[in-house]
Amino acid sequence: MKIAVGSDHAGLDLKTEIRRHLEARGIEVVDFGTMARESVDYPDFAFEVAKAVAGGACDYGVLVCSTGIGISIAANKVKGIRAAVAYNVDVAVQSRAHVSANVLVFGQKFTGPETALAALDRWLETPFEGGRHEKRLQKIIDYEAATQP
């Protein structure tokens, strides 16, 4: 498994902990930055992680900014990406089970490392349930295909 990670300056600390945690689990990590505390623009990192996942270079992505909101909106602009902001384990699990989220997003300001790492672990272990959710996911995929080049 290969996971792309990225953050802006406001998510750097949590992203660093996530990267270390994944590596300790033996998971290959591609870190798209940022690596410094200087102010940067979160879309730059969201787009790189999202492109790596959408293009198949990485299996999943994890993004972090202050709230998780801006970076998730940016990632979701990339065709094929379903980025979900998770603030606890249950939300992370639901994002995989019901919408097959392929990018998990955290807000460092609102989600501590212990919660984020637990949510990430459960997210990685959770399969898409299919069933009644398949029809809904397909509608999203079809709409995206019809409206994006």
Q: Which of 92, 102, 87, 81 is nearest to 122 (CA)?
A: 92
| Cα angle 107, 110, 112; round to 5 | 90
Q: Which of 9, 21, 98, 133 is catalytic?
A: 98
Distance, CA of 111 to CA of 97 (rounded, Å): 21
Catalytic residue among 9, 21, 58, 65: 65
Close Cβ partners of 60 (under 8 Å, ≥ 6 residues apart): 1, 3, 4, 53, 102, 103, 104, 124
Residue 98 appears among annotated catalytic residues: yes
Strand partners, 3: 29, 60
Active site (catalytic) residues: 65, 98
